[in-house]
Amino acid sequence: DVMDSLGLTGILIGDGPLRELVRQRCGESGSRLQWFSRIPHNQLPELLARGRLFILPSHYEGHPKALIEAMACGMPVIGADSPGIREVLDHGQTGWLCGTDAGSIRDAVRHLLENPDLCQRLGENARKRAVQKYSLDRIVSAELELLHAAAGEVKGDHGSH
């Protein structure tokens, strides 16, 4: 519906138990959809670079790695205003938040495509944010701090018994 109404072609990456339902729902617009169950991780940047926008319309994300990867590639990103996504995106600064319904997603896509300067700014800011906050060095450092803190608590707990 969103792709047809805007005349767009989409790339969907992923698989799962709802694949057939999604395929049925796509109906005739399925011809406008390239679907990859899985791709090698090193091919992801090249595939992302083919797109004009990245959209993650999930109802919930624990840690939205795909979103952060798209941001790192300098993509303008649209994410659902959902837990896990809204903590990563600053609306209008590093990405664009929308609802999870087709109308909200369509409006967000249309708005960004009609505003190329905004798209460029969002992409540039998204890349900066991804590099500053989610680089491998920062993630590893944060996880090590967490492990050390947990080990310290465990060690302290044992000593108090």
Helix count and strand count (H, E) for the chain: 7, 5
Which residues, at least 6 apart from 46, have a Cβ–Cβ distance to it below 8 Å? none
pLDDT of the residue at 138: 66
Q: What is the rounded CA–CA span in Å between residue 73 and residue 127?
A: 6
Amino acid making up residue 128: K
Q: Is the dihedral of CA 115, 68, 94, 90 positive or negative?
A: positive
Q: What is the pLDDT of residues 26-64, one digit of tens each?
A: 766 556 788 888 888 888 888 888 889 999 999 999 889
Is residue 111 within 8 A of residue 57, CB to CB? The reply is: no
Q: Which helix (H) or strand (E) holds 55?
A: strand 54-56
pLDDT of the residue at 153: 64
| Residue 60, token pair as written in the block | 């919930």
pLDDT of the residue at 134: 81
SS3 state of residue 10: strand
pLDDT of the residue at 160: 47
Residues of the chain predicted below pLDDT 70: 1-2, 4, 27-31, 136-140, 142, 153-161
Q: By CB neighbour count within 10 A (0-12 exposed, 13-18 middle, 19+ buried), where does 42 fall?
A: exposed
